[in-house]
Chains A and B, each alone.
Chain A
Amino acid sequence: MQEIPISTYSSPTVVLDLIYRLKVKDVMYKDLVCANMDSTLREIQHLMKSKKITGVPIVQGKRLIGLVSMDDIIQALDKGYIEEPCKAYMSRNIIVLEDDMPISFAINYFDKFSFHRFPVLNREKELIGMITSRDITATLLVEINREIELLEKAQAKNNPPQLNNINGEIHSYNIIKHDFENAGYASTQIKKKLKTGGVATPIIRRAAIASYEMEMNIVVHSNGGQLIATYTPEKVIISAQDRGPGIKDLEKALTPGWTTANDWIRSLGFGAGMGLPNVKNVSDDFSITSGPKGTTVTCTINLHKKDEEKINES
């Protein structure tokens, strides 16, 4: 098994950049707990226990001369030499990393050798730190998050939202199963977008109803999915795509009042069996397909006024 499951040659460019840019010294821990050659294995055992570590480097001044691991301690307890100095029993053949090496080296080392930690030396061959696979994964996670944030920002900069101009934009929102906390966010964004685009209030209202019901359907009934709004000068197409489990009986699902929601969901004011019928009612065009792998509901709302809406508004 790979200790750090990241390929050092075929990962995405961003990750490759990171593992070559980050050096061992950026990742290693520096507050070392060391012992010297005359320390007994018993002392080292206590050191491990009190510092909660599993390997202790043995040093002479700043020079690394050996390593005592938890395995060595177990051996000593088993064979009865735990009270003796460590120098005769410590591992002397130690694989080390240099502080200027990129962490791609360290990742390869962890894969190649079965050690849990490597001592890190500087150019003067002095011991300056230790590195574990956990240090690498933690740092990588932080750095990858930062890179993704930058990528997202760059993406947003390249596609700035066009205010007052509804034209060819596609906005996609991830909706998480049972995430009542954030439910309504996507619909609110769609409403705002139409409002800034100067769309008439009754039409925005219909789009808000449709998008909210579709969003809630994903939250309440599906394994999660996406709400996608496509804006053109004539219409907005709102599409809800989820990842299952699918609707068994579409005809029933479109019947007002028919519901599969449980008591908990109903106590929150949802699951009244009005969702899909509401969406269909307010749509100018409506379609639904469903299978075990997912359901897709698509509703189109024309952005120019219908005759009756003109009358209602006057």
Chain B
Amino acid sequence: MKVSDLVKIEGFKTVTLNDDTQIIKNAYTGDLLSDVIANVGEDSVLITVQAHKNTIAVCSLSSMPAIIICNGRSCPDDMIKAAAENDISIFTTDDTQFGASVKIAKALNL
């Protein structure tokens, strides 16, 4: 699916949409950025609670086009700005990481 399809998932809200035509084939759920960068596959959406600028760096280095921030956490401005600079989209949800992961797995028919 496309990044723009993520907002169609129930409870997902757009924080910033950048290059929403990028394709998502998989997802990775994790809050340890070292674990994420070491194991994530390409074209994955990141499901995490790490709402700060360094998450953008990890996504950019691992070619992840989108992030779902869970548990209703809000994103600081410098994170949103960095996301725009790196063509990464951010969505928030009140779901837990598990809840968000299940929804994305269904949307991806995994």
Residues of the A chain whose Cβ atoms lie less than 8 Å from the Cβ of B57: 183-185, 187-188, 212
Closest A residue to B49 by beta carbon equals: A269
User: Given the complex of chains A and B, what is the CA–CA distance between A266 and B102 in angstroms?
Assistant: 26
Contact pattern, B 17-53, Cβ under 8 Å of A = 1, otherwise 0 = 0000000000000011111011000100000101011
Residues of the B chain whose Cβ atoms lie less than 8 Å from the Cβ of A185: 57
Residues of the B chain whose Cβ atoms lie less than 8 Å from the Cβ of A28: none
Indicate which residue in A184, A205, A281 contacts B58 across the interface (CB closer than 8 Å).
A184
B61 touches A183 (CB 8 A): no
A272 touches B78 (CB 8 A): no
User: Given the complex of chains A and B, what is the CA–CA distance between A272 and B56 in angstroms?
Assistant: 18
**Interface residue tally on A, bucketed by range:** 20 to 34
Indicate which residue in A180, A181, A184, A209 contacts B38 across the interface (CB closer than 8 Å).
A209
Q: Does B96 contact A (CB under 8 A)?
A: no
A212 touches B37 (CB 8 A): yes
User: Given the complex of chains A and B, what is the CA–CA distance between A269 and B32 in angstroms?
Assistant: 5
- Contact A268:B34 (CB < 8 A) given known A188-B61, A208-B62: no
A278 touches B78 (CB 8 A): no
Closest A residue to B36 by beta carbon equals: A269
A269 touches B50 (CB 8 A): yes
A272 touches B35 (CB 8 A): yes
B61 touches A268 (CB 8 A): no
Q: Does A288 contact B (CB under 8 A)?
A: no
B54 touches A201 (CB 8 A): no
Interface centre among A183, A185, A201, A274 (most CB of B within 10 A): A274
Residues of the B chain whose Cβ atoms lie less than 8 Å from the Cβ of A275: 34
User: Given the complex of chains A and B, what is the CA–CA distance between A272 and B39 in angstroms?
Assistant: 14
CB distance from A212 to the nearest CB of B (A): 5
Contact pattern, B 57-96, Cβ under 8 Å of A = 1, otherwise 0 = 1101111000000000000001000000000000000000
B60 touches A184 (CB 8 A): yes
A268 touches B38 (CB 8 A): no
User: Given the complex of chains A and B, what is the CA–CA distance between A216 and B52 in angstroms?
Assistant: 15
Closest B residue to A208 by beta carbon equals: B61
B53 touches A180 (CB 8 A): yes
Closest B residue to A187 by beta carbon equals: B61
B61 touches A270 (CB 8 A): no
Q: Does A191 contact B (CB under 8 A)?
A: yes
Q: Does B101 contact A (CB under 8 A)?
A: no
B35 touches A274 (CB 8 A): yes
Interface centre among A185, A201, A212, A269 (most CB of B within 10 A): A269
Residues of the A chain whose Cβ atoms lie less than 8 Å from the Cβ of B38: 209, 274, 278, 281
Contact pattern, A 90-127, Cβ under 8 Å of B = 1, otherwise 0 = 00000000000000000000000000000000000000
Contact pattern, A 164-181, Cβ under 8 Å of B = 1, otherwise 0 = 000000000000000011
What is the interface of chain A, defined by CB distance below 8 A to chain B?
180-181, 183-185, 187-188, 191, 201, 205, 208-209, 212-213, 216, 268-270, 272, 274-275, 278, 281
**8 CB-based A-B contacts, threshold 8 Å:** A180-B52, A184-B61, A187-B57, A188-B60, A201-B42, A213-B37, A270-B54, A272-B35
What is the interface of chain B, defined by CB distance below 8 A to chain A?
31-35, 37-38, 42, 48, 50, 52-58, 60-63, 78
